[in-house]
Every structure is written in C-alpha cells, then in structure tokens.
Amino acid sequence: MTFTRLLGLTAALFLATSAAAHELKVGTLDIIHPNIPQPAANAMAAGGYLAISNDGPAADRLIGVRASFAEEASIHESKTDAEGVTSMSPVDAIEIPPGDTAVLERGGYHIMFMGLSQPLKEGDMVPVTLIFEKAGEVTVDFMVDPANVDADHSQHMMPMPSEGSGG
C-alpha cells in the first residue's frame, strides 16, 4: 500500500463522523461513506462528501453527479487564497489515480446539491448517481449525517461566473 493511499484511507475514516460508515465496491473503485451533513430545515443547498479509492491499474475520473432531491448537483472545489478569502467554483472532473484515494471533504473538492426539493433529515439515505469516465454511472446512497456547523454548506450562495469560464 502506497503512502498516498494510506493517507487517503486515513482521511476517509474521518469522513465517517459519529454515524456508521458505509461503502460500496464498483469494479476497481471503493466508494467510502458518501454523506451529507444535515442542512437547516429551510436550506436550499447542501454539501456532499465521500472518498473514492482506486484499486485498479488505470486512472478514472468522477465527471458528473445527479440527484433526484436537488434541481442541480455538481462537483465543486473550495480554495482559500493568500489573503484568507475562500471561494467555491464548479470543476469538470476529479482525477482518481490508480492506487490512490480522492477525498471529497469540506474545504476542498465536494458535491453541491442545489435547489433541494425535500428536507434532508439525519439518518435518511438518499440516492445519488455518480458518473465516472470509465466505471460509468453508479447509484449510491448518501447518508444524512448529524448537522455540523463547520461542514454545513446549506447557506452557500451560487458562485458568480468568472471571466472566461465556460459554465
């Protein structure tokens, strides 16, 4: 096991807050504890987190996401600049190298569910379709974990399109 893989798996364990962790194996990919911290009752958006380990010999990429409980679901990245200003913007894909783990967590890559059509309550399991370049479409249940003020993206505003961005 590579050091990078070990670090990724260790980080994935931290994704499993007090709720029981769950995972799914799809081909060479392990999808570890897909979860959504419970948003406020009137929230219109929520963040989704998970880890994806790749045991295969070739890279794969997470290229999209769909969820029936949200008008829009997309992959985002949060970044903090040298002045301490954090911004969030959509990304086209997340690379999952062979023998490595991609961790989607607060403050980095994550999934945004916008335009929530139903309340998400602690303990709920909600289906989300992850779209991979090679593994194809995989539907997994995201667990709604206890609310966590630090991880709550429910009040996050839509990012403004940046100059020259394609969408």
Dihedral sign, CA of 10, 16, 21, 26? negative
* Per-residue model confidence as pLDDT tens digits over 90-115: 999 999 999 999 999 999 999 999 99
For the whole model, what pTM was predicted?
0.77
Query: Could you say which architecture CATH assigns to the domain 3-149?
Result: Sandwich (2.60)
What is the residue type of 51? A
Q: Assess contact for 132 and 148: CB atoms under 8 A.
A: no
Q: Say if residues 30 and 23 touch (Cβ distance below 8 Å).
A: yes
112-161 tens-digit pLDDT: 999 999 999 999 999 999 999 999 999 999 999 998 744 433 333 333 33
Average pLDDT rounded to a whole number, residues 43-65: 97
Q: Stretch 16-29: mean pLDDT, rounded?
A: 72
Closest CA to 46 of 76, 12, 79: 76
Which burial class, exposed, middle or buried, applies to 29 when counting CB atoms under 10 A from its CB (0-12, 13-18, 19+)?
buried
Residue linked to tokens 């200003």: 85
Pairing type for strands 29-37 and 136-145 reads: parallel
CA–CA separation, 92 and 61 (whole Å):
10
User: Residue 121 is which amino acid?
Assistant: K
- Sequence-ordered strand ranges (E) for 92-135: 94-96, 100-104, 109-116, 125-132
Average pLDDT over the chain, rounded to an integer: 83
| Cβ 120 vs Cβ 76: under 8 Å | no
DSSP assignment string, 131-166: EETTTEEEEEEEEEEPP-GGG--TTPPPPPPPTT--
